[in-house]
Amino acid sequence: MPDEITIKTISNTIRDIVDFPKPGILFKDITPVLLNPDTFKLAVDALAEPCLAERPDIILGIDARGFIFGAAIAYHLGIGFVPIRKKGKLPYKTIEQSYELEYGENIVAIHEDAIKPGNKVFIVDDLLATGGTAHAAAILVEKLGGKITCISFLVELGFLEGRKKLGDLPIHSVVKY
């Protein structure tokens, strides 16, 4: 598990943006974490470390900031990376899963050959809010026969109770608000 100094360093680097993307929202901006090579490394290590004991076969990154962290972890471990994208963004045959947003619905997709039955899958994203996107990603992994070994988020907005949507899946968050 990341130590308190690492968590505090990352937390202090995340920037709050008031009223973005709309009035009343306090947006947690992780771009300063990415800009600084030291905090970026701390963040990648903190996301990965609690999930490595299960020795994943594949890292799955959720569109779009999950790509940044997930690809870095996959590279470090020498394993494959799979993107979960919004509908219509992947070029090959896909399977899709819809999920609810605060005001509507969205759809994510994965290539139908991205995960083999029995693959141990480690899901990475930057933010756990309501849990809808991560839940949809988990359903896609399971449809393809993968086994989710861990889901890791850089930031968790606990007051939105996204963990509840993910049930008994193994969840790790670096910074919690």
The active-site residue, picked from 4, 54, 55, 102, is 102
The alpha carbon of residue 161 and the mean position of all alpha carbons in its chain are separated, in whole angstroms, by 16
pTM for the full predicted model: 0.95
Quick check: 17 and 27 in contact, CB under 8 A?
yes
Residue 55 in 3-state DSSP? coil
pLDDT confidence of residue 102: 67
Give the tens place of pLDDT for each residue, 152-174.
Answer: 999 999 999 999 999 999 999 99
Using CB atoms within 10 Å of the CB of residue 18, give its burial: 0 to 12 exposed, 13 to 18 middle, 19+ buried. Answer: exposed
161 catalytically annotated: no
Q: Among the options 4, 49, 55, 65, which is catalytic?
A: 65
Note the pLDDT tens digit of each residue in 73-108.
999 999 999 999 999 999 999 999 999 876 679 999
| 163 catalytic residue (yes or no) | no
Which pLDDT score, from 0 to 100, does residue 100 have? Answer: 87
Question: According to CATH, what is the number of the domain 4-176?
Answer: 3.40.50.2020
CA distance 17 to 21: 9
Each residue of 102-153: pLDDT tens digit?
667 999 999 999 999 999 999 999 999 999 999 999 999 999 999 999 999 9
d(CA 43, CA 140): 26
Domain segments of the chain as ranges: 4-176
In this structure, are strands 80-86 and 15-18 parallel, antiparallel, or unpaired? Answer: unpaired
pLDDT tens digits along 16-57? 999 999 899 999 999 999 999 999 999 999 999 999 999 999
